[in-house]
């Protein structure tokens, strides 16, 4: 019988690769008291500070409730601050604090080091090709 080989399926392989990368990255970020999803939120703010919670939710493709919890924890850690939107009192803008901004270089260096270890078995150019293919699947 030649049934479905789950171990060779894209879904299984993507899930296992994500679990491996997440676990390694989580350990590297632990001394800073943040998680990989919190890092991702910070990385979006390093690119464009002062986004609304809705904008952050849309950019990260994470639901608004989950983003709210991530922002809460980053705010408690002193890495971001909510400020009222000047034109809409119901909306808050998420701004990096000095501490949140200051961590960009060090945390980015850690992320690049983890990515290097994670992709060490790929041939030159395969990482870029992998990202290109994943982007196609994402869209």
Domains of the chain: 31-102 (1.10.10.10), 103-139 (no CATH)
Cβ neighbours around 59 below 10 Å, total: 16
Contact 54/44 with Cβ under 8 angstroms?
no
Q: Which residue has the higher pLDDT, 94 or 7?
A: 94
**Backbone phi, psi, residue 67, to 5°:** -60, -40
The DSSP letter of residue 85 is -
Model confidence band, residue 6 (pLDDT cutoffs 50, 70, 90):
confident
- Mean pLDDT value across residues 112-139: 94
**Backbone phi, psi, residue 80, to 5°:** -135, 165
Collapsed DSSP state (helix, strand, coil) of residue 74:
helix
Q: Mean pLDDT check: name the lowest of 30-39, 58-67, 74-83.
A: 58-67
* Residue 99 pLDDT > 70: yes
Looking up tokens 């701004």 gives 95
- Mean pLDDT value across residues 46-70: 93
């Amino acid at each position: 019988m030649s049934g479905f080989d789950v171990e060779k399926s894209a879904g299984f392989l993507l899930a296992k690769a994500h679990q491996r990368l997440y676990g390694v990255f989580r350990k590297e970020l632990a001394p800073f008291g943040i998680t990989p999803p919190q890092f991702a939120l910070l990385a979006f703010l390093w690119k464009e500070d002062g986004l609304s919670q809705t904008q952050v939710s849309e950019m990260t493709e994470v639901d608004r409730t989950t983003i709210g919890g991530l922002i809460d924890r980053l705010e408690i850690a002193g890495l971001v601050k909510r400020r009222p939107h000047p034109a809409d009192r119901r909306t808050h803008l998420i701004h990096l604090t000095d501490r949140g901004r200051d961590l960009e270089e060090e945390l980015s260096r850690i992320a690049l080091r983890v990515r290097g270890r994670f992709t060490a078995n790929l041939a030159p150019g395969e990482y870029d090709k992998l990202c290109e293919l994943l982007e196609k699947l994402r869209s």
